[in-house]
Structure 1
């Protein structure tokens, strides 16, 4: 890990929606692997005991009164980080698919990058996508690779580390719309002059609960994600230091 990163200035943000069966296990894993980091669970309008179990497990909790989606939850996380002096934000999903033991790999890459993606299709692990979802991921990776000048194979990954410049930008402008947490945030970062890179990671199975994917949802995903990417490319470039929305 880069010696320039003070783990006390690293915030792990876990967006969570009805993850009462998983959240305590994830918090325990993070504490075991990275005992010095801060941790914020953003309860995105859960109707179960997610917030209660997160607090009981020792994490800070921000509760959203309604479900805003991952983008809205992460926007809350970045603003919390900026207000409390955190220099680095690492997004970790609350369903157990991201392994906290791989966070140090993302942090090391921040020595030469502003935003690091934990990539599922980069030669590590056995995660596979099929059908419309695979074609969508392939298309979006091609477009973002061209924009960034870096080979990016998994631009829809939710496992990411943001360095100081990215935290400053996202605290002001993080998009909350559909796929804003993946496609639009990456487009924003690239167009804002941030360096984006990836490191290979292995995706795990959910610890519990029910996944939200299905063949019909995958087909809808392709259409909606294509529109989201198009809209992201049409938006104005973010200007740091301005309170005006990007």
Structure 2
């Protein structure tokens, strides 16, 4: 029996100094016919991110200082759990994740606990090259073997989780931006979560300055290797007793 799609979905947008982009991103998501709730986690911004997001129609959770994406997402998961959401999905505040693809990523939860919006799955023209590409291919192959399913974009932040996935993230999600997508994914798989991917297209940043340059990207991937090794040594988390058919 195919589980129903989640009824109450929370879009979590971690945002750090995204005042130029977050307002339009929130409005685009709210304009979708699916009518998602939006939580913008203002990660210690020094600009008007929180004000712009609230004016655009989002609920805003303000962190007192910058924790990084991992810390912001942990706060978002706690909010989702306390407010009884069926599913969450992370969406970049800078507009690179196309809001029309939110429903596509959520659709992956029909047969999985975590659904990844994959940039390298025969859709769109997003490409990487050189050492970064080699590293991402290695990470994808390693984690695919753990998940016993083909995954091509394990560093993607455009991902959704059902109630079972949320419970896993609450039990273990790295607070620091240190390969958080890798660490959290490996532990989720080893804890029994089912993972799938769906193809999505990436857009150019809508405004503001990219937080990653080639050097930072290389450092992040190096940290991802470290996170992979560390995650493989962790004990699997104990998932809460939740019917995995829900969501």
TM-score normalised over the length of structure 2: 0.92
Partner of 1:71: 70
1:166-222 alpha-carbon deviations (Å, 9 max, x no partner): 011212322213345310111011001011000000010000111122232233233
SS of 1:127's equivalent in the other structure is: coil
Partner of 1:56: 55
How has the CA–CA distance of structure 1 residues 179 and 100 changed in structure 2, closer, same or farther, with 3 Å as cutoff?
farther
Cα offset, 1:132, TM superposition: 2.1
1:9-56 alpha-carbon deviations (Å, 9 max, x no partner): 100000000000111101111111145321100001110000011111
CA distance in 1, matches of 2:177, 2:18: 21
CA distance in 1, matches of 2:111, 2:123: 22
How has the CA–CA distance of structure 1 residues 34 and 184 changed in structure 2, closer, same or farther, with 3 Å as cutoff?
farther
- Counterpart mapping for 1:186-225 below 5 A: 186-225=185-224
CA distance in 1, matches of 2:197, 2:235: 25
- Counterpart mapping for 1:1-246 below 5 A: 4-7=4-7, 9-34=8-33, 36-241=35-240
Which 4+ runs in 1 deviate beyond 6 A?
A: none
Partner of 2:245: none
1:118-139 alpha-carbon deviations (Å, 9 max, x no partner): 0000000111112222111111
Paired residues in the alignment total 240
Contact 2:6/2:87, CA 8 A, preserved across alignment: no
Runs of 5+ in structure 2 lacking a partner?
242-247
Contact 2:6/2:162, CA 8 A, preserved across alignment: no
SS of 1:186's equivalent in the other structure is: helix
SS of 2:151's equivalent in the other structure is: coil
> Comparing 230-239 with 92-101, which one deviates more in the overlay?
230-239
Runs of 5+ in structure 1 lacking a partner?
none
SS of 1:4's equivalent in the other structure is: coil
SS of 2:227's equivalent in the other structure is: helix
SS of 2:25's equivalent in the other structure is: helix
SS of 1:41's equivalent in the other structure is: strand
